[in-house]
Structures are given as structure tokens and as C-alpha cells.
């Protein structure tokens, strides 16, 4: 009897327990299905069907002869699914054991993971080699949260040679999205950060497609429901010649900081644009460590700066042909007028003496001789006769002090000063001595190598200002149809044919005459016209300067060397501007670079 009573008690306890569990389960079911019905139905509807972007193939870039400069190539990356990771540091530790090279990217991997949406994979490591892919695949079972993904990435076939022209891709930031539609750039997408990649981003990028998929609770794709194909980006066909681009870099190789631009004088098409120092844009693919980026940005030689459009230099004597045209137009001189150079000049309005580069003077000089021998005193006296306004007008007509309109981001406008500019910016009056300094391209004046290149083109093409450009045509990658750009040319009113011919003949003799300042590059089967310039960087007491050998000066105190040229003289097909920072003499270093580029263009390297 007692045994039965004990059994009955146990049965009741079990029954009560089961009843309690049943009530608890029913309560939970009531809460989930009744109380939270609308909440979970909404979550289920939103999570079950997901629309994901399909990245478009980025447009390709070709040189003027149809040779590929930038391509898209398959690459491998590691993607980490954030929802499957509780302790990222442990995952990264194990990853470094398998791929030791990942240790250098550890902080970057953490940053990418932190920035990634919870249910979207984060690209934590790019540019995997075939060996790395094999190693990771063999250990895949240790990394349930990481997958290998094949993707497309840029390959800059000419590397550092075209870096400043083409630019590179990078991850978008908030500043980018003020210019570009963020809906076109899902997480992990890249956009142009510099050069043509930036300038033509909207054309090169294309439009992403859409992929409607069903996902599970962890955001993983269960099946694909529908797909809308992306629209590929447009291809660019450039005016650039890859062989001449290589020659320009080769010519600049002996110099630490320099730039060169070569243009078609009739169209403004840029045939070559080189800047030193440079960088390898392929290192930007997929990102790199913060240490590498800091090293590039903090390099005092500024390898990321495109000196052709962002370097500002006193144009020095390279503007003397334009001053000669202004003097002839204003009838301040005529072709036979002689002005005597005894080595110095004083305006008579103060006690400052201006010196010619030739300390003993040149003697009597005509305008032709003054251009050939680059006589400073002749142009001091010419400027004194003209005054600043006609000089400013002439330089403005040739494009100095204004953007050229080149299809590259970041172009600087330079400076063509006048009394109004000084009053606005310095709050003081213009002095006669400043007109004198302007006449030899010193003082406040600043110009980019590209501005000097377009000035040269105008002298070569008969007096037309051209708009320099790199993109010749835009190609539809599907139909292969190309829309070509029409050249933009504007006649320069102050140029008359007779005066221009005199100046062009003088530039020919700058190279061809024994007295010419660029006689060192005379010879060769292509006749070249040119103008030298030597821009003073730091003012040094003249007595002290005469005691110093230029080679003995600290490099940063040495003068900049400039040279403008066009060829052939009678039928110009190329215009070149070269600046060698601290190159000492335009007639030597810069002129030799220009000669090499011109000879290379016509097929005969010196």
C-alpha cells in the first residue's frame, strides 16, 4: 500500500512537471505567434528575399594606336562572414599561421571587418597569389567563416610609367559620395581616386546589375530568383602614345624631380605626360597597409603629385618669345630696333640694379638676337617701354594664369600677376621693378609644364590656343562604336603672321646658331626650334653667387631648368615642354630631355 502511494506521488510530480513545461511552451508559442507575429513576419519577409548588386565590368583604356594600357584581370580575395565570427582576433591568428603575409595587413583586416554590414561578407585580404590560394584551400576546414572569392581587379600594364595619367582605384569615402551616387558602389566596390580613372569615373564604372536571391537566417544564398545584367563601363581611347610615354620617362630617369609634356600642336592631344618621382599604381589594387600609404604621402619628393599639371614654377626666359610678340605688336620695337646690353639695368625709379645672366653684357641686340641669346637686359628695357598691362595681356592670351582645361583632376591655374592681382592679394601697389622681373618670367609668375606646353603649341601652330586633352574617343564595349572628341582651337588675336614667323625663326636659331642657348642639342635629322629657361629658386647675393660653382650648390638651391621645343620647324608635329627641378641650366639638362623625346617620336633615338 505504501509502495502504491509513493508511486502515485511520483506520478503526480511528473505530471505536474509535464503540465508546467506544456504551459511554458504554449506561452512561448503564444508570444511568438500572437504577440510578436507582425515583427517576425516582417523580419522573415525582409530577410528571405535579398536584392544584391552585380558589379559591372569596368571600361578598358587604350593608347592612340589601340594598345591596351589598363585591363581587368581575375584575382582572388578572402571574404569573412561577420555573423559567423565571435572572436575575430582568434580567426586572424589562425589565418596568419596559414598565410604569414597576412600579418602585415592585420590592422587593415580589422578595419574592413568593422566597416562591413553585419550580413554582408567583408573582403579582408586581396591579391592572393596562386600559392596562397592553394595553401588556404588546404586548410579551409579550419575557417568556416572565410571563403575564397574570385573577383575582377585592375592591372596597369605600364606600371609607374603611366601612373600620374591613369591614376588608380580605391575604396570610396564620404567625400567621394558627394560627387558619385553611393547606390552604385556597394560594400567592397572601388572607384577612381586620381588621373583618368577619377576624371572619367562615371563612364568607366558602368551601372551595376541586380541579383535577387533567397537567403537563410545567416544571409547565405539559398537560391537565385532573378538577375538583371550590369551595364559595362565605356572604354577610353587616348591620344597618348605608349612608346613616347616610355621614352619620356627614360629621358627623365637621371633626374630626381622633373616633368615633361608632349602635345600635338594642331589638336592639343597629349602624346606623352611624364612626372618624376612616380609610383606603381598596381600597389594600390585591393588596398595596402597604412604604413605604405603614410610613406607615400609623407615622402618629401611627393611621388603622388603629377608635376605636369600640379607643379608650379617660374617660367623664366621661356616666355621671352611672347614678350617679343607683345613688343612688336605694341610697336615698342621693330625687327631692326637695337637695345644695348651692358650687363645691368636700372629703371631710374629706385636704386635696384637688375643683372643679365651674361655679366659682361651682350652689346647691341635686335629682338631676334635677344631671343636667340636670351638677353635679359633687352627684355628689361622692352618691359620698361611696354609697362605691365600689355605684358599681362599677351601672357594671358597664351594661357598663363588660367587652367588649360585638360581632362585630368587637380590641375593648378598658375599665376600671371598684374597690379589688380597684387592689390587684391597683397594689399599694396605694383612697383616698376616687378614689371622688370615679370619680363623674364620671375617674380610672382608661376606656370605648370602643361601651360608651357600649350604656349609652345600656339607658337608652333600659327597662333592658336589649343585645349590639351588625353581622351580622343569613348568606345561602347558592346557595339564597339567610338565617339571621337573634336579638337578645340582659339585664334590668338595679338599674333600677326609676320611677327610670329620672326619669333619662330629666332627659336630655330636658339638651337641651330652657335650663339643659341640650346646649341648643345643642335644636329640630328629633325630640325628643332626651342627656348631655354633657367628659373632662380633662392635669391643669393650676386657676388657670392659668382664665387659658387653651380655643381657645388646644395641641390635645393640650384636653379630649375626649363626648355620648350617644337619640331619639325617648318611643319610642327610635336610640341614639348620640360622642367627639371634644380637642373641648373635649361640649355643642358632640360633641352637634352626634349631632344630625346622628339627624336624618339620620329623614330630615331639619339
pLDDT tens per residue, range 190-226: 899 999 999 999 999 998 888 777 766 555 667 777 8
Average pLDDT over residues 486-505: 93
Give per-residue burial for 186-203: e unless 16+ CB within 10 Å, then b.
eebbbbbbbbbbbbbbbe
Give me the percent of the chain exceeding a pLDDT of 90.
Answer: 59
Q: Is the pLDDT reported for residue 271 higher than 70?
A: yes
Q: CATH code for 242-278+305-601? A: 3.40.710.10
Cell numbers that stand for 83 in this block: 555573423
List, as one string, the DSSP characters of 415-450: B---HHHHHHHHSSPPPHHHHHHHHTT-TT-BB-HH
What value does the mean pLDDT of the chain take? 86
pLDDT tens per residue, range 78-96: 777 776 666 777 887 888 8
Q: Is the pLDDT reported for residue 422 higher than 90?
A: yes
CA distances from 415 to 23, 129, 345, 445, 481 (A): 85, 49, 25, 5, 41
Which run of H or E residues covers position 38? helix 37-48
SS3 assignment, position 273: strand
CA distance 605 to 599: 5
Q: Is the pLDDT reported for residue 371 higher than 70?
A: yes
CA distance 557 to 559: 7
pLDDT tens per residue, range 5-38: 655 666 666 666 666 676 677 766 666 566 655 5
CA distance 105 to 290: 9
CA proximity to 195, closest of 176, 163, 167: 167
Cell numbers that stand for 49 in this block: 528575399
Average pLDDT over residues 257-277: 97
CA distance 409 to 305: 12
CA distance 356 to 562: 18
Indicate if 317 belongs to the active site.
yes
Give me the percent of the chain exceeding a pLDDT of 70.
Answer: 84
Fold assignment, 51-238: Penicillin-binding protein 2a (Domain 2) (3.90.1310)
CA distance 151 to 187: 14
Q: Confidence band (pLDDT; 50, 70, 90) for 599? A: very high
- The torsion angle over the Cα atoms of residues 282, 240, 308 and 383, rounded to 10 degrees, is 180
CA proximity to 261, closest of 574, 583, 561: 574
CA distance 263 to 272: 7
Higher-pLDDT residue of 255 and 171 is 255
CA distance 44 to 38: 10
CA distance 507 to 321: 8
CA distance 495 to 579: 26
- Crossing angle of the two packed helices 432-439 and 388-397, in degrees rounded to 10: 30
- Crossing angle of the two packed helices 591-601 and 242-252, in degrees rounded to 10: 160
What does DSSP say about strands 235-238 and 61-62: parallel, antiparallel, or unpaired? parallel
* CATH 3.90.1310.10 location in the chain: 51-238
Average pLDDT over residues 131-145: 83
Catalytic residue among 116, 259, 317, 589: 317
Q: DSSP class of residue 582?
A: T
CA proximity to 262, closest of 604, 593, 605: 593
pLDDT tens per residue, range 534-575: 988 755 444 445 555 555 457 667 889 999 999 999 999 999
How long is the chain?
Answer: 606
Q: Is the pLDDT reported for residue 439 higher than 90?
A: yes
Planar angle of CA 452, 453, 454, nearest 5 degrees: 90
Q: Is the pLDDT reported for residue 243 higher than 60?
A: yes
Average pLDDT over residues 88-117: 75
How many other CB atoms are there within 10 angstroms of residue 281's CB atom?
A: 25
Average pLDDT over residues 46-73: 86
Q: Is the pLDDT reported for residue 42 higher than 60?
A: no
What's the pLDDT score for residue 454? 98
* CATH 3.40.710.10 location in the chain: 242-278+305-601
* CA atoms 523, 524, 529, 533: torsion sign: negative
Higher-pLDDT residue of 221 and 163 is 163
Higher-pLDDT residue of 136 and 316 is 316
CA distance 241 to 223: 48
Q: Confidence band (pLDDT; 50, 70, 90) for 48? A: low
Cell numbers that stand for 504 in this block: 619662330
Amino acid at each position: 500500500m505504501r509502495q502504491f502511494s509513493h508511486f502515485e506521488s511520483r506520478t503526480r510530480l511528473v505530471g505536474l512537471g509535464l503540465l508546467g513545461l506544456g504551459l511554458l511552451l504554449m506561452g512561448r508559442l503564444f508570444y511568438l505567434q500572437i504577440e510578436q507575429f507582425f515583427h517576425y513576419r516582417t523580419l522573415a519577409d525582409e530577410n528571405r528575399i535579398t536584392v544584391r548588386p552585380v558589379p559591372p565590368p569596368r571600361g578598358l583604356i587604350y593608347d592612340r594606336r589601340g594598345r591596351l594600357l589598363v585591363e581587368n584581370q581575375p584575382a582572388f580575395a578572402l571574404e569573412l562572414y561577420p555573423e559567423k565570427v565571435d572572436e575575430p582576433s582568434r580567426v586572424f591568428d589562425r589565418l596568419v599561421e596559414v598565410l604569414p603575409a597576412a600579418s602585415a595587413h592585420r590592422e587593415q583586416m580589422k578595419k574592413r571587418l568593422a566597416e562591413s554590414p553585419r550580413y554582408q561578407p567583408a573582403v579582408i585580404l586581396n591579391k592572393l597569389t596562386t600559392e596562397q590560394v592553394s595553401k588556404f584551400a588546404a586548410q579551409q576546414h579550419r575557417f568556416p567563416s572565410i571563403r575564397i572569392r574570385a573577383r575582377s581587379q585592375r592591372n596597369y600594364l605600364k606600371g609607374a610609367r603611366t601612373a600620374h595619367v591613369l591614376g588608380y582605384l580605391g575604396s570610396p569615402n564620404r567625400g567621394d559620395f558627394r560627387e558619385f551616387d553611393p547606390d552604385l558602389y556597394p560594400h567592397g566596390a572601388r572607384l577612381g581616386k586620381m588621373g583618368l580613372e577619377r576624371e572619367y569615373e562615371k563612364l568607366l564604372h558602368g551601372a551595376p546589375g541586380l541579383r535577387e536571391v533567397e537567403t537563410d537566417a545567416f544571409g547565405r544564398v539559398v537560391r537565385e530568383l532573378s538577375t538583371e545584367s550590369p551595364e559595362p563601363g565605356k572604354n577610353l581611347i587616348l591620344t597618348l602614345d605608349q612608346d613616347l610615354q616610355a621614352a619620356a620617362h627614360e629621358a627623365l630617369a637621371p633626374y630626381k624631380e622633373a616633368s615633361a609634356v608632349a602635345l600635338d600642336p594642331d589638336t592639343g592631344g597629349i602624346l606623352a605626360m611624364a612626372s618624376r618621382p612616380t609610383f606603381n599604381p598596381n600597389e594600390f589594387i585591393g588596398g595596402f597597409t597604412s604604413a605604405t600609404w603614410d610613406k607615400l604621402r609623407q615622402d618629401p619628393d611627393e611621388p603622388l603629385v603629377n608635376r605636369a599639371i600640379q607643379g608650379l614654377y617660374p617660367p623664366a626666359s621661356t616666355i621671352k618669345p611672347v614678350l617679343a610678340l607683345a613688343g612688336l605688336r605694341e610697336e615698342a620695337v621693330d625687327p631692326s630696333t637695337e637695345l644695348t646690353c651692358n650687363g645691368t639695368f636700372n629703371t631710374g625709379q629706385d636704386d635696384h640694379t637688375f643683372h643679365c645672366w651674361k655679366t659682361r653684357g651682350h652689346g647691341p641686340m635686335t629682338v631676334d638676337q635677344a631671343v636667340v641669346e636670351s638677353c635679359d637686359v633687352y627684355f628689361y628695357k622692352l618691359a620698361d617701354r611696354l609697362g605691365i598691362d600689355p605684358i599681362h595681356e599677351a601672357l594671358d592670351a597664351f594661357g598663363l594664369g588660367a587652367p588649360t582645361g585638360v581632362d585630368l583632376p587637380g590641375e593648378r591655374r598658375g599665376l600671371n600677376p598684374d597690379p589688380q592681382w597684387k592689390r587684391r592679394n597683397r594689399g599694396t601697389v605694383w612697383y616698376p621693378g616687378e614689371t622688370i622681373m615679370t619680363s623674364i618670367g620671375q617674380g610672382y609668375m608661376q606656370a605648370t609644364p602643361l601651360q608651357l606646353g600649350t604656349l609652345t603649341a600656339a607658337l608652333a601652330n600659327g597662333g592658336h590656343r589649343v585645349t590639351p586633352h588625353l581622351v580622343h574617343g569613348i568606345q561602347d564595349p558592346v557595339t564597339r562604336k567610338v565617339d571621337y572628341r573634336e579638337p578645340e582651337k582659339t585664334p590668338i588675336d595679338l599674333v600677326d603672321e609676320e611677327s610670329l614667323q620672326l619669333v619662330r625663326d629666332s627659336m630655330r636659331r636658339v638651337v641651330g646658331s652657335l650663339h643659341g642657348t640650346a646649341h648643345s642639342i643642335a644636329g640630328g635629322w629633325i630640325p628643332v626650334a626651342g627656348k631655354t629657361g633657367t628659373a632662380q629658386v633662392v635669391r643669393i647675393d650676386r657676388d657670392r653667387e659668382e664665387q659658387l660653382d653651380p655643381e657645388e650648390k646644395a641641390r635645393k638651391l640650384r636653379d630649375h631648368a626649363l626648355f620648350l621645343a617644337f619640331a619639325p620647324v617648318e611643319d610642327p608635329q610635336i610640341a614639348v615642354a620640360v622642367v627639371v627641378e634644380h637642373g641648373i641650366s635649361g640649355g643642358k639638362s632640360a633641352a637634352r630631355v626634349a631632344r630625346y623625346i622628339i627624336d624618339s617620336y620620329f623614330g630615331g633615338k639619339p
